[in-house]
Amino acid sequence: MKYITVLGSTGSIGQSTLDVLARHPEQFGVFALSAATQSEKLAEQCLAFRPRYAVMPDAEHADVLRDLLKDAGSLTEVLVGTEALCQVAADDAVDLVMAAIVGAAGLLPAWAAACAGKTILLANKETLVMAGDVFMRCVAEHGARVLPVDSEHNAIFQVLHQSDTGCLNKSGMQSVILTASGGSFLETDLAKFPSITPVMAVKHPNWSMGRKISVDSSTMMNKGLEVIEACHLFGLNADQIEVVVHPQSVIHSMVRYVDGSVLAQLGTPDMRTPIAYCLGLPERIDAGVAPLDFFRLNALTFRQPDMQRFPCLQLAFDALRHGQDAPCVLNAANEIAVAAFLRGNILFTDIARVVEDSLDVCKLDASATIDELLDKDAAARQCAQAAVQRLQAA
C-alpha cells in the first residue's frame, strides 16, 4: 500500500487523480488532501477517501470544513496554512505527493516534498519555471524523484524511461518535440483578439482544465512554460526543444533521434493517462480512459507556431535564453496578467504586454536560493501590477 498526499485535490488534476486512486483502493491510501476555497467539495472528498489530514490556506475556510466533517462524523483532522501544506507533503508516512496546486502557491509544498526525498508527481509546472535549477538540485540532493504529470512531459518521459533501471535513456536523442493544441484562437482573426472575453478564453477545444491553465493555453504561454519545464526535467537547452502545433491533441509529444527516428506517445486527451502512469510506475494501471479509436479520428495535422499570434510563446523562449531569474519573472507577471484578464481589468492582448513590460522593468539577477526566488516572484508581481494599472488608466 502506498500513501499519497494530493495537493490541490479539488482542482481539475486533483479530481482526476482521485478518480484514478478510487479505481485502485487496494494499492493506494490517501494521507492528505488540500484545497484553497472549496470547503464543500473537499469535505465530500474527505468522506470518500478518509485522509488523515485536510489542509486549507485560511482559518475561515478551514472552520467551514471542520464543521462539515464533524457533522458527518469524519475523523479527518483539518490543518491550516502553507506550513501545514508543507508538513503533509513531507510527512514520514507519505510515499507519493501529487503537486496539483495552481501557480506559485504550489512551490513551497513541492519544495518541502523534495527536501523530504518524496516521489513527486509534478503537475504544477510553475514550480520548475520559477525555480527549476534550485528545485532539481534539491531533488537530487535529497534523493527525491520527479515524475512529470503534464501530458507532454509525461509522453517524453514514457519514451525515455527504462523500466529495468528506472533511468532515462537519452542516447542518440536530438530534440524533444512538444505538441501544442494551439488553444481556442488558432483560427480567430487577429483583429478580433482584443475582444476575446474570459468566457471565450477558458473554453479549451480538447482538454478540460482549470481557468488559469486554460487561459495560458489560449495565449500559448502554457507551451512556453512547458518549454522551460522540459529543459529542467530532461536536462535540455532551448535549442533542443521544438514546438509543433497539433490541434487534435492525439500525439502528446515526441522525441527525435539522430538516426531519423521520431518516437511518440498517443492517446485520448485525458489527464488520467499521465496520472495513472506516474501512480503505477513501473506497472501500467487502469485509468478509466476511453481507448483511442483510430477509425473515428480526424486527420492528424501539424503546423508551425505563429509567434505574432502568440507572443507569449516567444517571450517564454526569450526568458529561457536570457536565463537568470527571467523565467521566474515571466511566470509571476503572467499569473498577475491572467488574473487581471479574468477579472475583466485588461484585454486578452494585454497579457503579453504585462509580461513583456515586467521582464523589461524588473531587475534580473541569478537567484541561488528558494528565498531569493520568492523575493523575485514578489517583486515581479509588483512590476506586473503596475503594468496592469497603466493599461487600465490608458
> Which residues bind to Mg ion, rule: CB under 5 A?
150-152
Q: Based on CB atoms, which residue is closest to ligand NAD, 12 or 158?
A: 12
Q: Based on CB atoms, which residue is closest to ligand NAD, 336 or 391?
A: 336
Say how far apart CA 343 and CA 151 lie, in whole Å.
Answer: 28
The least CB distance from residue 37 to ligand NAD, in Å, is 6
Q: Which three cell numbers stand for residue 226?
A: 512547458
The least CB distance from residue 31 to Mg ion, in Å, is 26
The least CB distance from residue 150 to Mg ion, in Å, is 4
- With CB cut-offs between 5 and 8 Å by kind, which of ligand NAD, Mg ion, none does residue 12 bind? ligand NAD
Rg of the chain in Å (alpha carbons):
20
- With CB cut-offs between 5 and 8 Å by kind, which of Mg ion, ligand NAD, none does residue 267 bind? none
Nearest to 362 by CA among 388, 339, 386, 346: 386
The least CB distance from residue 309 to ligand NAD, in Å, is 21
Residues 65 and 51 sit within 8 Å (Cβ to Cβ)? no
Residues 150 and 125 sit within 8 Å (Cβ to Cβ)? yes
- List contacts with ligand NAD (CB under 6 A): 8-14, 35-36, 38, 57, 100-102, 105, 123-126, 150, 207, 209-210, 213, 271
The least CB distance from residue 38 to Mg ion, in Å, is 23
Say how far apart CA 246 and CA 154 lie, in whole Å.
Answer: 17
Residue nearest ligand NAD by beta-carbon distance: 11
Instruction: Determine the residue type at 290.
Output: A
Q: Based on CB atoms, which residue is closest to Mg ion, 221 or 315?
A: 221
Q: Based on CB atoms, which residue is closest to ligand NAD, 103 or 311?
A: 103
Residues 159 and 255 sit within 8 Å (Cβ to Cβ)? yes
Say how far apart CA 118 and CA 95 lie, in whole Å.
Answer: 6
Evaluate the omega torsion of the peptide bond into residue 274 and state whether it is cis, within 30 degrees of 0.
Answer: no
Nearest to 43 by CA among 71, 21, 6: 71
Total residues found in the chain within this entry: 394
Q: Based on CB atoms, which residue is closest to ligand NAD, 96 or 213?
A: 213
Q: Based on CB atoms, which residue is closest to ligand NAD, 186 or 271?
A: 271
The least CB distance from residue 129 to ligand NAD, in Å, is 10
